[in-house]
Amino acid sequence: MLLKSERISVRDMQESDADFMLALLNSQGFINNVGDRQLRTTAQVVDKIKAAYTADYPNYGLYTVVDNQTNALIGTVSYLKREHLSHDDIGYAFLPQFFGKGYAFEATKLLLDYVISQGKTCVFAVVKPTNTPSIKLLEKLNFVYVGETLMPNETIPISKYQYTQNKI
């Protein structure tokens, strides 16, 4: 997959993204808002990229967000099928130095527009209720709070938001 805007590109994740992913997965923002994935080496991340993050391409997976001007890897967006959710799930994570610059909104909108163009009419996003910046981003993308869900192997529910494409 390759999606582009003026500032960013969203592309398939590659094994060569492992050092970037190691930094992202172990950043404090990721640990606080998504969780600690217990991946501490580049080799562990390469294995995870192959076994999970890209295993369901082209339909589902994690995608790398690249700054078009610098070619820096700045974050990820994901489109996943989760067994416990009735609709597919969209998500995002960025390195802290790229927070508050509109990249997450831009990348998520690119991916959301793409999946809607492929015929999807409803998409979920899940977020910790304390993650106010992500909630604001979802609301800006016209996601609506629809309740809580319990993620597998978790004990505390998180908020579930839904985007519905209105067909005219």
Residue 168: inside a domain:
no
Residue 115: inside a domain:
yes
Give the tokens for residue 117: 């163009």
Q: What is the reported pLDDT for 166?
A: 76
The answer to whether 88 and 120 have CB atoms below 8 angstroms apart is: yes
Q: At CA 62, angle to CA 38 and CA 165, rounded to 5?
A: 130
The answer to whether 26 and 55 have CB atoms below 8 angstroms apart is: no
Domains of the chain: total: 1
Residue 20: inside a domain:
yes
Q: What is the reported pLDDT for 168?
A: 47
Residue 39 belongs to domain with CATH number = 3.40.630.30
Residue-number span of the structural domain to which 63 is assigned: 2-120
Q: pLDDT tens track of the chain, all 168 residues?
A: 799 999 999 999 999 999 999 999 999 999 999 988 999 999 999 999 999 999 999 999 999 999 999 999 999 999 999 988 999 999 999 999 999 999 999 999 999 999 999 999 999 999 999 999 999 999 999 999 999 999 888 889 999 999 998 754
Tell me how far CA of residue 60 lies from CA of 97, 101, 140, in angstroms. Answer: 27, 26, 24
